[in-house]
């Protein structure tokens, strides 16, 4: 509605305004938890400087499991950002949907994705606690990434909206399931004072591969295919991007194979702290 009535630039400004109020709300209501709370052990400041970003990166990069997590999350985001940028033009071009209807459907689909973000963490915790095997965190990521591929291909290749829209709902849910476990395992691979920077490093990898390359790849491939496939070039470009999720799933499964050993080092270092 906003894009049609006000223009997309004005709509972007309006959508961003609530974030300012949320930021002030967080500043006024959220308190920093005591360091070590999640380990059920109080950690007192000892005056030493925290590890530098270079130190954290070197520590992480020595772990095969993190390298796989980083590339898996980046490839997953490559597909997600590519699709997120081009889903609206795809629905308009290939299915002749009005922009207002496209916006309404995509807003609902994006909101439904929150279910997947919660479910990924919940299932990772559940299976890990039940089996005593924390590899389940990455197995949940790998399985959800793998399962979503046929639904993505259905959404882009099927001509009937009655199949496209439900498929996008499923994709939105499955597509959010990698986030919680990926960040949780990244933090589990480092010591207590490295966790914030470790998360930032993973987020950087996720965005530089995902946001930096995903939309660009889909746009370039669509242009290259346009002379032969005309309006359907975007459809096939999105399908080509989707195949990166198969690669991402492989990285998650490979990361799981070395995860248990990698998690023991920071735990041992933590128990040695006074």
Distance CA 30, CA 268 (A): 31
Kindly state the average pLDDT of the residues 101-124: 93
What is the reported pTM? Answer: 0.86
pLDDT exceeds cutoff 50 at 272: no
pLDDT exceeds cutoff 90 at 41: no
Distance CA 274, CA 267 (A): 14
Name the DSSP class of 32.
Answer: P
Q: Provide the terminal-to-terminal Cα distance of the chain, rounded to the nearest Å.
A: 59
Task: Give residue-wise pLDDT tens across range 183-220.
Answer: 999 999 988 888 889 999 999 999 999 999 999 999 99
Task: Give residue-wise pLDDT tens across range 244-271.
Answer: 999 999 999 999 999 988 888 765 544 4
CA 176 to chain CA centroid, nearest Å: 6
**Are 244 and 79 within 8 A, CB to CB?**
yes
Which residues touch 48 (CB under 8 Å, ≥6 apart)? Answer: none
């Amino acid at each position: 509605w906003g894009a049609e009535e006000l223009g997309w630039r004005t709509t972007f400004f309006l959508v961003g305004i609530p974030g300012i109020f949320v930021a002030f709300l967080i500043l006024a209501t959220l308190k920093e938890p005591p360091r070590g709370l999640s380990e059920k052990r109080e950690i007192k400041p000892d005056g030493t400087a925290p590890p530098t970003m270079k130190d954290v990166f070197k520590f992480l990069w020595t772990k095969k499991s993190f390298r796989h997590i980083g590339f898996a999350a980046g490839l997953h985001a490559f597909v997600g950002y590519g699709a997120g940028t081009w889903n609206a033009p795809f629905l308009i071009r290939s299915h002749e949907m009005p922009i207002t209807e496209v916006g309404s459907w995509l807003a609902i689909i994006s909101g439904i994705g929150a279910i997947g973000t919660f479910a990924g963490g919940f299932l990772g915790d559940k299976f890990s606690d039940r089996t005593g095997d924390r590899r389940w965190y990455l197995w949940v990521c790998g399985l959800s990434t793998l399962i979503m591929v046929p639904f993505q291909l259905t959404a882009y290749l099927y001509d009937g909206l009655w199949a496209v829209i439900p498929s996008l709902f499923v994709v939105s849910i499955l597509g959010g399931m990698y986030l919680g476990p990926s960040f949780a395992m990244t933090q589990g691979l480092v010591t207590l004072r490295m966790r914030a920077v470790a998360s930032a490093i993973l987020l950087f990898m996720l965005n530089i591969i995902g946001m930096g390359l995903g939309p660009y790849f889909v746009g370039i491939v669509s242009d290259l295919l346009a002379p032969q496939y005309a309006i359907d070039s975007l459809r096939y470009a999105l399908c080509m991007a989707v195949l990166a999720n198969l690669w991402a799933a492989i990285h998650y499964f490979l990361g799981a194979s070395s995860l248990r050993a990698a998690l023991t080092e920071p735990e041992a270092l933590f128990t040695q702290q006074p």
